[in-house]
Amino acid sequence: MKTARLNVDFGEMIEDNLVLLSETDTMVDSKGKTIHLKEGLKVKIYADDLSSCGKIDNLIAEGVVELNTQGGWTSHFKWNCRIDKKGIYNESQKTNN
């Protein structure tokens, strides 16, 4: 992965374009840098994935950090990521990451 990204679990989607992001105000990105989360921060996210050939081909997306106001089963998370209109795609589908 060329670009630093925050790791998420795309199995924790709240809506089609909203994923749980973090229980705390900071996350460590894929390059080891601490990112301080705040409302409106643009972020790049990813989840580990493999191609049909067994090669690494992570799922990636971009979006904006939102305060979690969903409640219920998501209430232990403080932050969500609202994924932009490009959606979620495999890293191999985009060459300038």
Residue 63's Cα: distance from chain center in Å? Answer: 8
- Region for residue 22 given its phi and psi (left: phi exceeds 0; alpha: psi -120 to 50; beta: otherwise): beta
Q: How many domains does the chain have?
A: 1
Find the domain containing 66 and state its range: 6-93
Q: Of 60, 27, 23, whose CA–CA distance to 41 is shortest? A: 27
CA triple 22-26-29, angle to 5 deg: 90
Domain for residue 11, yes or no? Answer: yes
Closest CA to 49 of 39, 60, 40, 41: 60
Summarize pLDDT for 70-96 with one digit per residue, the tens: 999 999 999 999 999 999 999 988 744
pTM comes to 0.88
Tens of pLDDT, residue by residue over 20-63, are: 999 999 999 999 999 999 999 999 999 998 877 888 889 999 99
Residue 1 lies in a domain: no
